[in-house]
Chains A and B, each alone.
Chain A
Amino acid sequence: MNHILKFNLNGEAVEVAVKSNEKLLDVLRDKLGAVSAKFGCGVAECGACTVLIDDLSVRSCITFAVEVEGKSVVTLEGLQADGPTKIQKAFIKHNAFQCGFCAPGFIMSATELISKNPSPNEEEMRHALAGNLCRCTGYQNIVDAMNEVAEDNKGGVK
């Protein structure tokens, strides 16, 4: 079955022809050029394909493209439309990644977390990011960067 899929991608209305069985990850990457979301496992276990759908982090590798009809999808490309976010700046400062392949997924998950809980404590933060696998870093610099964001947001509340 073929569809003309309409949704909002990174703030812009898009229209794209898809079949029912096409995966959101493939449509984003191959048809819409949003290649920041990565293929890592194909079964929602590594988090490399994470995108935001209506502000919630979702595994685009196990989402049918047709499921996002009328919804708003944000990938890393859209997140930084106004320049690097606070989270991205902290990740840069702390050398948070090594090979970098998991970075877009981590940033999307971290973005969702901070939007819901601006100053998570370290264990809350680790719990929220536990679905994103990184093989390089041992996670320490990711934690350091996120702790800095959380600390900074605390200051913002005062």
Chain B
Amino acid sequence: MDNFRYIKPSTVDEAISSKREYGKKANFLLGGTDLFIAMDKGVITPEVVIDLKGIKTLKYLEEKDGAIFIGAAVTWTELIESEIIKKMVPALWEAADLVASVGVRNTATLVGNLCNAVPSLESGAPLYVRDAVVFLEGKDGKREVSVKDFFTGVKRTVLKDDELMTGLKIPVVKEFGEVYIKMGRYEGEDLAQAGVSVFVDKNNNYKISLSAVAVTPVRATKAEDFLKGKKLTDELAAEAAELALEAIAPISDIRSSKEYRIHMCRIMVKRGLIASVSRMETGVPALSTRLI
């Protein structure tokens, strides 16, 4: 890869003003796991790399005002080691624990994962079912965007050239159950061929999100509406799983055929529903149990 100008601002303002100065010639660097490889392969060739790791204000993970706030510099490992995440956003915890490997999770970030916006991203589905909101900041100021409106396509987001995602918030909820299930080729490190998150609360409100089976993560609203207010049975779960498939448009690639992705999504939604309800009722989140 070609040499580049490396700058390490200490405030968000400095970072934004550098980005404004260099525009498309500059890239932000956080964990860098995706950026580095793209640069090494020559897929992107920035003239300037703006390392955000010097900005101390991006490193926060806290619960306040009815939400959990996660700063851009928080790594997957920090999420996994957080009791807040484990107790209050267990599906995200499960997703985090399935990202790549320890050596990558130690530097890679949730925000980087979102901004990279590949369809197989682990973080999409768990954040979709919790209606997370991301914080964007650019030369025109700050804005908050629902995570559901953040992605616009494969590797495409609403982020403007001079904007960066400084963090996100996840509303705190009580008396709920949720899961994340990943379809990989084996238990070792793999990119998700499909991901399913299911959320349920004590009023039998269900939320179902699927990732890696459409250009962006999706919510299976038809299945959610079908289940709304109903107490889950195995039969209802199976019916809802069938409806959930209407929300996805998976492709065939070397990792899986379209048909097997559909087959697996059906099973994952069904098992995810049953497991979420069970977790809510027992109060014991079965974290890290492999449901497939």
Q: Which residues of A line the B interface, CB within 8 A?
A: 1, 3, 19-21, 42-45, 47, 50, 56-59, 62-64, 66-67, 69, 109, 112-113, 127-128, 130-132
Q: Mark interface residues in B1-26 (1 if CB within 8 Å of A CB, else 0).
A: 11111101000000000000000000
Are A58 and B32 also in contact (CB < 8 A) when A20-B3, A130-B101 are?
no
Per-residue A-contact encoding for B60-79, CB less than 8 Å = 1, 0 else: 00000000000000000100
User: Are the C-beta atoms of A112 and B102 separated by less than 8 Å?
Assistant: yes
Q: How far apart are the CA atoms of A58 and B188 in the complex, in Å?
A: 18
Given that A62-B37, A63-B36, A64-B36 are contacting pairs, would A44 and B103 also be in contact in the complex, using a CB cutoff of 8 Å?
yes
- How many B residues touch the partner, as a band? 20 to 34
Whether B106 and A56, one on each chain, are in contact in the complex, defined by CB atoms closer than 8 angstroms, is yes
What are 5 A-B interface contacts by the 8 Å CB criterion? A44-B33, A44-B37, A44-B104, A66-B51, A131-B104
Chain A residues with Cβ under 8 A from B106's Cβ? 56-58
Interface SS of chain B: mixed
Which residues of chain B have a CB within 8 Å of any CB of chain A? 1-6, 8, 29, 32-33, 36-37, 39-40, 49, 51, 53, 77, 97, 100-104, 106-107, 187-189
B49 cross-chain contacts in A, Cβ below 8 A:
20, 64
Report whether A56 and B104 are in contact in the complex, using a CB–CB cutoff of 8 Å: no
Interchain CB contact (< 8 A) of B40 among A20, A42, A50: A42
B107 CB contact (under 8 Å) in A19, A45, A63, A66: A63
